[in-house]
């Protein structure tokens, strides 16, 4: 019997606040949540030394040198005996655990089990061991009484989790040995696991890196998001055109998660707000929603490095309070009986539904409020349970809003404090400001969300009242500041009156937060100068910089095991724990023997990627060629178009001088365009049409190939990044907030060609300007060029010819006008300054050609990129958040 099974057998069932829960719940929390919300504290009260706070008592005992008393949650100490993880270090024990799960949890005999059955059994056997650490981590969190971090993100691009967990626990080879005698290949199981595609790109992957680093640094934390049924779409490519297919990652269930049916919160929409008298004669505002949705919790343990701590990722699914309208069903309206359920459950169906229609637009807002409200109710309930009061919320909880999607948290937390827990407005505002923090990820206007006042008043009437009140106090304070500047007042107002009255969610998050951070030094400075310039002038200490990072556990150790082995052999095992230890590689950068071994690792990774390219696209590429990689969301500001245009120009140059010794190059693209982003989808089609011409030209041969790998996701990134020689980071300067792909690629030894945008600026500082290729306009020059304008007459002959061939159908003879929208956008205003940067980009690529031809120099530069990129670890980023924003300490 496993430890978990023993726990469940021993634990009685008890009732808390009307909700039945099992004490041995893996999160070790008394489930006080109910469908009507946790019981509010009738009066705010301050915690005292005599309060019944088990965590405070334990902390005091610990400080006094005594053994801390067990927390008053759960059922007592863990059962005696070796924890499951320690036991399954033995491959034979792990094998037996897998076989038991296969039989008793999956219900299959080993002779009949499918690959997926073995995957599930392996995950469940591993999960049992993780749960022991999970329980222990949660108990230690309660006992310590330390501040908790709550990370709210609409996206968590987790990817596959099996190797993530095995790697962090040091069990990859153990699992391989356990499965081999059963005739099961661990690497095949790895490929069978679906990607949890709960994110679109950098924003969601950053959240996944952060939640892992929070566990690795032993910071008590919760991640909160939405359990999308379909996540981001699966990208199919038909004749060069992107097609969106549902990504049904839950089709076989999710063995990592624990459903929490006893943890469900009512989320309201619509209705009306009325005055209701209190016993003391005062009046309070009461919201009566017209529609109620249940937010049901699903928990996934997130294990940190070496298994030292396990945090929780809690995702919410939308459920109907009544699954069927029985009366309608009994009257024969079978479809109508399910209509309300379908409407409600659509909230958690798909990540980023198209907002091109009024219904889709409203659904986006419903999604954002749904997960934010559920998360805040949950953390407030947990806080009251642990500390008995909300007076110390800001001292014991730090909430991080990942971009503007959860910005409604400002109004929702105010509503909970005022309407549910009886706080006065000023006290509620103080607590809200102490607790919330906001990360801005973009300066693009379309990403700084605004919502129409009309929709907000209809869907969230009480929140709109609170926003009006916040804005009134805010503008009163601005007016008292000896200014009657109406332009300033309009600029800093939460309501934008110039575009049909819209609520500025970025402004709301800014006002309601203790700290507002950018995600690179350049991005932070541009925030101060552009989108939040006037707010920054009013609150000059609020904006801070926290440059993004990536978890090296996944983006080096897991995705590039051969390079990791070389690093450990060269530098010792401390390189696995300390990214700063990579600096030791500098001493080997000029060693021809080490260069050869480093290059051999890269070549093997390229051979593996070449096979994937052949399987997915049908194109055969030479792994001895330079692999020139641009992998990211398809967007005009990321300038995949600039890359394609340069590819055509290079094609012309090779055709014009075929006798020249051109270095072999494979241009590799991957990324998804938003379903409604017509121009981005057209760029994908252009890439395919150009590839069709170049890749079949016998004159060019293997000297130049272009491939587009469909359905870019975390797992595909893990194959591409270790094989990349050149990293394309060519966004229009001033438009990429940070980027994290640039960090992952440099870590794995790819040289960067890029503009001085986002984290490229800091990467150049760390790796050395001689080890990166920078081109193009700076952010200041971009601003000046946009003001001055750029005429098509200023284009070089080289670019003019490229655009002429695209416009006249050289690459699309069956439809010569296909790419007219691209040409028109470049002729009309060229907002992303493709043409002004084209020649500089072309010349920078020829500099790359020269570097590639000098292989000792190339490998020296690649090794130094790996050696000097250690600062870009997400552990460093999270440590900075903890020390300077959250004021949180590890256990």
pLDDT band at 77 (very low <50, low <70, confident <90, very high): very low
In this structure, what token pair is assigned to residue 113? 């089990």
Above 70 in pLDDT, residue 764? Answer: yes
Q: Name the CA dihedral angle for 537, 538, 539, 541, rounded to a multiple of 10 degrees.
A: 40
Do residues 413 and 406 touch, judged by C-beta distance below 8 A?
no
Burial class (CB in 10 A: 0-12, 13-18, 19+), 758: buried
pLDDT for residue 499? 78
Report how far Cα 479 is from the mean position of its chain's Cα atoms. 39
Indicate the SS3 state at residue 502: strand
> Is 14 marked active-site?
no
Per-residue pLDDT at 449 exceeds 50? yes
Is 632 an annotated catalytic residue?
Answer: yes
What pLDDT score was predicted for residue 366?
Answer: 98
Contact between 409 and 399 (Cβ < 8 Å):
yes
Instruction: Indicate if the pLDDT at residue 689 is higher than 60.
Output: yes
Known catalytic membership, residue 309? no
Q: Could you count the other beta carbons within 10 Å of the beta carbon of residue 856?
A: 11
pLDDT at 200: 86
> Which pLDDT belongs to residue 447?
73
Q: What's the pLDDT score for residue 448? A: 86
How confident is the model at residue 445, as a pLDDT?
73
Q: What's the mean pLDDT in 328-352?
A: 87
Query: Of the listed 138, 141, 312, 740, which one is catalytic?
Result: 740
Calculate the average pLDDT of the chain: 90
* Highest mean pLDDT of the ranges 20-34, 190-204, 285-299: 285-299
Question: Which is nearest to 460 in space by CA: 372, 346, 358?
Answer: 372
Q: What is the mean pLDDT of residues 505-534?
A: 97
The SS3 assignment for 223 reads strand
Of 411-415, 484-488, 590-594, 730-734, the poorest mean pLDDT is in 484-488
How far is the C-alpha of 730 from the C-alpha of 727, rounded, in Å? 9
In the set 314, 536, 633, 868, the catalytic residue is 633
pLDDT at 60 over 70: no
pLDDT, mean of residues 166-192: 96
The SS3 call for residue 28 is coil
Strand, helix or coil for residue 424: coil
| Minimum mean pLDDT range among 34-48, 443-457, 866-880 | 34-48
**Beta-bridge partners for 243:** 236
Distance (Å, whole) CA 393 – CA 45: 12
C-alpha closest to that of 685 among 740, 634, 731, 750: 634
Neighbours of 578 (CB within 10 A): 15
Residue 35 binned pLDDT confidence (cut-offs 50, 70, 90): very low
Q: Is the pLDDT of residue 61 over 70?
A: no
Q: pLDDT tier at 354 (50, 70, 90 boundaries)?
A: confident
Predicted local confidence at residue 12, as pLDDT: 33
Which of 463, 638, 639, 672 is flagged as catalytic? 638
**pLDDT tens per residue, range 736-746:** 999 999 999 99
Q: Which candidate in 260, 441, 462, 554 is catalytic?
A: 441
Answer yes or no: 633 catalytic.
yes
Q: Give Cα 813 to chain centroid, integer Å.
A: 41
The residue from 528, 632, 665, 818 that is catalytic is 632
Closest of 285, 116, 251 to residue 184, by C-alpha? 116
What's the mean pLDDT in 340-355?
90
For residues 302-317, give the mean pLDDT: 97
What's the average model confidence in pLDDT over 190-206?
Answer: 91
Residue 637, SS3 per DSSP: helix
């Amino acid at each position: 019997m496993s430890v978990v099974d023993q726990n469940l057998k021993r634990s009685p069932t008890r009732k808390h606040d009307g909700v039945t829960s099992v004490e041995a719940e893996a999160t070790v929390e008394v489930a006080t949540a109910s469908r009507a919300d946790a019981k509010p504290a009738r009066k705010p009260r301050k915690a005292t030394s005599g309060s019944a706070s088990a965590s405070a008592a334990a902390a005091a005992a610990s400080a006094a040198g005594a053994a801390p008393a067990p927390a008053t949650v759960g059922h007592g100490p863990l059962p005696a005996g070796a924890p499951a993880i320690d036991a399954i270090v033995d491959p034979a024990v792990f094998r037996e655990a897998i076989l038991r799960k296969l039989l008793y949890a999956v219900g299959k005999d080993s002779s009949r089990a499918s690959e997926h059955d073995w995957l599930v059994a392996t995950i469940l056997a591993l999960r049992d061991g993780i749960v022991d650490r999970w329980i222990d981590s949660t108990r230690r969190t309660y006992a310590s009484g330390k501040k908790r971090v709550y990370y709210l993100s609409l996206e968590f691009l987790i990817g596959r989790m099996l190797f993530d967990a095995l790697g962090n626990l040091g069990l990859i080879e153990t699992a391989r040995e356990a499965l081999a005698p059963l005739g099961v290949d661990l690497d095949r199981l790895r490929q069978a696991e679906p990607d949890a595609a709960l994110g679109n790109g950098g924003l969601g992957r950053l959240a996944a890196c952060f939640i892992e680093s929070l566990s690795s640094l032993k910071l008590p934390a919760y991640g909160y998001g939405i359990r999308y049924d379909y996540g981001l779409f699966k990208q199919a490519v038909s004749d060069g055109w992107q097609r969106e297919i549902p990504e049904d990652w839950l089709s076989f269930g999710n063995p990592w998660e624990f459903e929490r049916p006893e943890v469900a919160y009512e989320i309201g929409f619509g209705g009306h707000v009325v005055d209701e008298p209190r016993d003391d004669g005062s009046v309070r505002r009461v919201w009566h929603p017209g529609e109620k949705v249940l937010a049901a919790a699903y928990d996934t343990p997130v294990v940190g490095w070496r298994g030292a701590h396990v945090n929780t990722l809690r995702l919410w699914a939308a459920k109907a309070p009544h699954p069927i309208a029985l009366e309608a069903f009994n009257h024969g309206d079978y479809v109508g009986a399910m209509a309300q359920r379908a409407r409600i459950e659509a909230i958690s169906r798909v990540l980023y539904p198209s907002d091109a229609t009024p219904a889709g637009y409203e659904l986006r807002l419903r999604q954002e409020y749904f997960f934010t409200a559920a998360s805040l109710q949950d953390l407030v309930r947990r806080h009251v349970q642990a500390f008995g009061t909300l007076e110390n919320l800001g001292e014991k909880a730090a909430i991080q809003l990942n971009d503007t999607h959860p910005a409604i948290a400002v109004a929702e937390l105010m509503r909970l404090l005022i309407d549910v827990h009886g706080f006065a407005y000023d006290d509620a505002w103080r607590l809200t400001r102490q607790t919330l923090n906001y990360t801005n990820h973009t300066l693009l206007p379309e990403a700084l969300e605004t919502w129409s006042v009309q929709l907000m008043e209809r869907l969230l009437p009480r929140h709109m009242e609170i926003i009006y009140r916040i804005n009134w106090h805010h503008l009163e304070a601005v007016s008292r500041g000896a200014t009657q500047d109406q332009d300033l007042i309009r600029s800093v107002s939460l309501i934008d009156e110039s575009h049909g009255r819209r609520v500025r969610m970025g402004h709301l998050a800014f006002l309601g937060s203790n700290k507002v951070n950018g995600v690179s030094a350049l991005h932070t400075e541009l925030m101060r100068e552009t989108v939040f310039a006037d707010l920054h002038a009013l609150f000059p200490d609020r904006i801070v910089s926290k440059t993004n990072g990536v978890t090296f556990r996944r983006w080096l150790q897991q995705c590039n095991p051969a390079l990791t082995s070389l690093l450990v052999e060269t530098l010792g095992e401390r390189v696995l724990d300390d990214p700063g230890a990579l600096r030791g590689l500098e001493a080997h950068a000029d060693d021809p023997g080490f260069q050869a071994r480093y290059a051999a690792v890269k070549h093997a990774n390229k051979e593996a990627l070449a096979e994937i390219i052949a399987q997915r696209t049908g194109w055969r590429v030479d792994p001895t060629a330079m692999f020139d990689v641009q992998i990211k969301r398809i967007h005009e500001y990321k300038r995949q178009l600039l890359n394609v245009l340069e590819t055509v120009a290079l094609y012309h140059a090779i055709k014009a001088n075929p006798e020249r010794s051109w270095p072999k190059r494979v241009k590799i693209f991957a990324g998804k365009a938003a379903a409604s982003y017509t121009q981005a989808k057209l760029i994908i089609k252009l890439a395919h049409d150009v590839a069709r011409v170049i890749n079949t030209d016998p004159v060019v041969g293997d000297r130049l190939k272009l491939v587009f790998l469909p359905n870019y996701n975390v797992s595909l990134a893990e194959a591409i990044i270790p094989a990349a020689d050149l990293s394309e980071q060519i966004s229009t300067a001033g438009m990429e907030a940070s980027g994290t792909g640039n960090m992952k690629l440099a870590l794995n030894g790819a040289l960067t060609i890029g503009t001085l945008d986002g984290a490229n600026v800091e990467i150049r500082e760390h790796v050395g300007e001689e080890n990166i290729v920078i081109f193009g306009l700076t952010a200041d020059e971009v601003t000046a060029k946009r003001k001055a304008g750029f005429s098509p007459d200023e284009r070089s002959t080289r670019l003019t010819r490229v655009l002429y061939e695209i416009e006249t159908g050289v690459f699309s003879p069956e439809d010569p006008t296909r790419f007219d929208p691209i040409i028109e956008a470049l002729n009309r205003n060229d907002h992303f300054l493709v043409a002004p940067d084209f020649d500089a980009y072309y010349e920078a690529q020829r500099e790359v050609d020269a570097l590639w031809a000098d292989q000792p120099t190339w490998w020296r530069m690649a090794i130094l990129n790996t050696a000097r990129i250690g600062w870009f670890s997400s552990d460093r980023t999270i440590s900075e958040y903890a020390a300077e924003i959250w004021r949180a300490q590890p256990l």
